[in-house]
A and B are shown apart, each in its own frame.
Chain A
Amino acid sequence: MLTPKSKRPFPRWPHGMAVLLVVATFPLIWVGGLVTTYDAGMAVEDWPTTRGYNLLLYPWQTWIAGPWDVFIEHGHRLLGFLVGVLTITLNVAVWLRDYRRWMRWVALAALGLVLTQGILGGMRVIQNSQQLALIHGCVGPLFFALTVAIAAFTSRWWNARDLRLQHPAAGKLHRLAVLTFVLAYVQLILGAQLRHLPVDASLGMFRGVVWAHLFFAAVLTVYVLSLAGRIVAQYRRLTHLLVPALGISLLLLVQLALGAATWVVKYSWPTFAVAWKWTQYYTIQADGMLQSSITTAHVANGSLILATAILLALRSTRLVQRGVVQTPLGDGYLGEAVA
């Protein structure tokens, strides 16, 4: 019996910090998307300083009242700084309050990733490199997914290893969820490729990436829908799975619509749409509200899909039969008893 340990109070701090981090990271992703949408990555030409000022000392009046591209780029840096600070705080919380040694490594990994990401962003500015911008854009959502994972690891539901949840067919579900996550990430990289296309990219490259993005969109749709279908069919009583499953389906539908809309507001209607007269009345407005918000929403929503996918992938592991029966207890904090 593990009574002594399980009687320790469940540590709220790490989970609270992790959720806060998730909440802070999503706007960071959104603003990062805006920076790319407005091609504002080079709006401030120095780093880590902003126009010669220390990041935090850049006059806020100049920032707020200044040009839009500087506003979002500096805002992105400030938010990035905030997320960095939150990640450090999370590390402290995990170090002090979480009893699982491996959690410390995970939290440390998050810190490493956020630092790397900051330096990537900085190098992108210093070298004015589209390729670094692309990598920066791909690592961001990965960090976001990691924060969601940490929030999941530190949650009460995760730690309350409810053996009644275990299900013989859960392995399949788990694999499906992991695959969905991988696919969502590949799809995200493809999207980032489109957004960071080199200015002298060949027509073949654009064609290749567009078609791959469409192909993976179709594959991902099939995976997401079958994952959600499986959960609704077999595990609908588990709110912790049902809610993200319904969520990811909804996000996916929104994402498909946003993707199609992004094409239209950037490149106008595809050739076959010429037949519909009403399409011909539309004039694109470069950097207009419609164009930038739809494009950025498509990017941010992609990150949300990725985050939901990792949540499902992690939660579904809890259903997988481990064969190791540690405790007959139901709800209860197991602490380090996890193998």
Chain B
Amino acid sequence: MKFKTETNNSCFRFGLCLALAVGMLGCGNETLRFHLDMVWIRSNEDPEVAFQPEQLQNLSNVLGAVFGTPNKPHVLQDSDIGVEKLVNRDLLQLAAGPVWNDPQGKSHGLYRKHCAHCHGVSGDGAGSTAAYLNPYPRDYRRGIFKFKSTPKGEKPTNSDLEKTLLEGIPGTSMPSFVLLPDDEIAALVDYVKFLSIRGEVERNLVLELSDLEEGELLVSDETLEDGKELIQDAVSFVVNRWSRAESKVAIPAACPSSADPRTATGEEMERSITRGYHLFHGVIANCFTCHGETALGDGQLDLFDDWTEELQPKDPERHAELMSLAQRPQPARNLRPRNLRLGIYRGGRRPLDIYWRLINGIDGAKMPQVPMVDPNDPGKPGMSDSDLWDLINYVRSLPYETLSRPAYQSQTDHVQLTKPL
């Protein structure tokens, strides 16, 4: 008899656990939607008059009209704006929606399968895992991407985004998707662009909204034409920026054979690296100011990247509010200049990648462009193309350089070296 009750008891326990699992069924399942950028909305609110709920509802409707929903993204049918030239409608639909395979075996819902858990359904970089990742997942909605062939303020090209997807980013949670077929990568690239455009249009519309009079809607029955123009301008502005990305790619100047690792003699390379060493510590390139005298990435530790800086108003209460709206845990993480002695380059380790980082700077991460000489203006201090390759050679040699190499001793050294050796 006792045995029997014992069994019943454990049955009861299994049952409890099962019931708990089944209990999950009852959880609400609201249809997925894109969320508004509440951080940006709060940041651009008139301190005296908050945005009215009708204004924000109107904004959400406008965005819904232009961009659709996560299940059914919309490509605005307006050839003057040209969203359809930028993102392929079919690829977009492939990346959007829930995960499933169609009878032809094509994978759908790629974004949710591979990206959304970290980057969020809206591309806000606040997916459920985000708080545990270092660095945090990218928020696409600012339209800023770090690793690209174009300068600050310009958009990445398709191949820049593809490269990040295919290679991943070492030392971060961003995986390499090299095992995905090409069309899936292309679909993800288009979807990331789509989310980024959506987010940036939203930001621009919020700025427009903040410029309107109290309570005024972006577009209402009374202001149909004006509102239409406002929206079209906002969308076409962002679309134009993306369309011109290809034309903004920095084409590298030829590397002189005496600085090219494939052709230079050992002695030539050594000289090139030494020249790069002096450039690194000189006041033209100024690399040492942030990357540190020893290139360990310890020169400038109190900056924030552009995404975090937005959450740093001087008022601590406001700061706490924005941090929680952005779903970022306290304290905010500082921007760390790369430790160049590791030999890990998040944007890629080819000489070309480092060339792009130097000539374009790193958007969103404060790294400036190096100043270049101007052939029409001999008085302007700057670096020549061959200086740039010397600097690249030095940066690439840093992981192998011993720390015991005498560092630049005094501040005056930096000052005197305005011209490289």
Q: Which A residues are within 8 Å of any B CB, using their own CB?
A: 39, 41-45, 51-52, 66-67, 69-70, 128, 131, 134-135, 138-139, 142, 174, 178, 181-182, 185-186, 189, 192-193, 197-203, 205-207, 210, 267-271, 274, 277, 279-288, 291, 313, 317, 320, 322-323, 339
Q: Are A280 and B112 in contact (CB under 8 A)?
A: no
Complex CA–CA separation, A186 to B20 (angstroms): 9
The prevalent SS among residues of B at the interface is loop
A284→B121 contact, CB < 8 A = no
Nearest opposing residue in chain A for B112, CB measure: A199
> Known: A142-B14, A277-B342. Is A44-B101 also a contact (CB below 8 A)?
yes
Evaluate contact between A274 and B117: CB separation under 8 angstroms.
no
For B2, the chain A residues whose CB sits under 8 A away are 322-323
A277 to B340, CA, bound (A): 12
Q: Residue A131 contacts which of B24, B101, B342 (CB distance < 8 angstroms)?
A: B24
Chain B residues packing against A (C-beta within 8 Å) = 1-3, 6, 10, 13-14, 17-18, 20-22, 24-25, 27, 29, 32, 98-103, 105, 107, 109, 112-114, 116-117, 121, 126, 128-134, 167-180, 327, 342, 344
For residue A70, which residues in chain B have a CB less than 8 angstroms away from its CB? 101, 105
Whose C-beta in chain A lies nearest to the C-beta of B33? A200
Q: Is the CB of B105 within 8 A of A200?
A: no
> 7 tightest CB-CB pairs across the interface, nearest first?
A280-B171, A42-B100, A284-B175, A206-B128, A286-B175, A201-B128, A268-B173
Question: Is A286 within 8 A of B10, CB to CB?
Answer: no
Contacts of A52 in B (CB 8 A): 103
* B179 & A135 in contact (Cβ 8 Å cutoff): no
| A43 and B101 form a contact (CB under 8 A) | yes
Bound CA span A207–B113, Å: 20
A69 and B107 contact, Cβ closer than 8 Å, known pairs A42-B100, A199-B112: yes
Residues of B contacting A339 in the complex (Cβ-Cβ under 8 angstroms): 1, 3
Contacts of B173 in A (CB 8 A): 267-268, 284
In-complex Cβ contact of A285 among B6, B102, B130, B168 (8 A): B168
Distance (whole angstroms) from the CB of B266 to the closest CB of chain A: 27
On whether the beta carbons of A283 and B168 are closer than 8 Å, the reply is: yes
| A185-B14, A280-B342, A317-B3 known; A285 vs B117 contact (CB < 8 Å) | no
Interface centre among A52, A271, A283, A339 (most CB of B within 10 A): A283
Residues in chain B near residue A286, CB distance under 8 A: 114, 168, 175-177, 179-180
Given contacts A66-B105, A201-B128, contact A135 B21 (CB under 8 A): yes
Give 14 A-B contacts (CB < 8 Å), ordered by A residue.
Answer: A39-B113, A41-B99, A42-B109, A182-B17, A203-B128, A203-B129, A206-B131, A207-B131, A267-B129, A281-B170, A286-B175, A286-B176, A286-B179, A287-B180
Evaluate contact between B100 and A200: CB separation under 8 angstroms.
no
Is B171 a contact of A285 with CB atoms below 8 Å?
no
Assess the B176–A284 pair: CB atoms within 8 A: yes
A299 → chain B closest CB, angstroms: 15
Min CB distance A80 to B, Å, is 19
Q: Do A135 and B180 touch (CB < 8 A)?
A: no
New A-B pairs, 4, CB < 8 Å, besides A128-B100, A267-B132: A41-B99, A134-B21, A135-B21, A206-B129
Task: Please name all residues of chain A whose beta carbon is closer than 8 Å to the beta carbon of B172 when the two chains form the complex.
Answer: 268
- Contacting A279 at CB < 8 Å: which of B25, B105, B129, B171? B171
Given contacts A39-B113, A206-B128, contact A322 B21 (CB under 8 A): no
Given contacts A142-B18, A199-B112, contact A274 B134 (CB under 8 A): yes
Q: Which residues of A contact B3 (CB under 8 A)?
A: 317, 320, 322, 339
**Cα-based distance from A41 to B327 in the complex (angstroms):** 30
| CB of B355, distance to nearest CB on chain A (Å) | 21
A307 to chain B, nearest CB (A): 14
A141 to B: closest C-beta gap in Å: 11
In the assembled complex, which residues on chain A have CB atoms less than 8 Å from the CB atom of B116?
A: 199-200
Would A313 and B10 be within 8 Å (CB), given that A201-B128, A203-B327 are in contact? yes
The reply to whether B99 and A267 contact each other, CB–CB distance below 8 Å, is no
A72 to chain B, nearest CB (A): 12
B112 adjacent to A185 (CB under 8 Å): no
* B20 CB, min distance to chain A CBs, angstroms: 7
Residues of B within 8 A of A178 (CB): 10, 13
> Contacts A39-B113, A202-B128, A206-B129 hold; do A138 and B21 have CB atoms under 8 A apart?
yes
Contacts of B112 in A (CB 8 A): 199
How many Å lie between the Cα of A147 and that of B82 in the bound state?
61
Q: Which of B10, B103, B133 contacts A51 (CB 8 A)?
A: B103
Contact B98 A128 (CB under 8 A): yes
Q: Give the chain B neighbours of A201 by CB distance below 8 A.
A: 128
Contacts known (A135-B25, A138-B18); A42 close to B342, Cβ less than 8 A: no
Q: Which of B6, B29, B117, B133 contacts A197 (CB 8 A)?
A: B117
One of B10, B24, B114, B179 near A134 (C-beta < 8 A) = B24
For the complex formed, measure the closest distance between the CB of B35 and the CB atoms of chain A, giving whole angstroms: 9
Q: When the two chains form their complex, are residues B344 and A281 in contact, meaning their CB atoms are under 8 A apart?
A: yes
**In the docked arrangement, what's the CA distance between A166 and B174, Å?**
57
Residues from chain B with a CB closer than 8 A to the CB of A69 are 101, 107
A45 touches which of B20, B103, B121, B129 (Cβ 8 Å): B103
Most buried by A among B167, B169, B175: B175
| Bound CA span A268–B135, Å | 10
Q: Which residues of A contact B29 (CB under 8 A)?
A: 131, 198
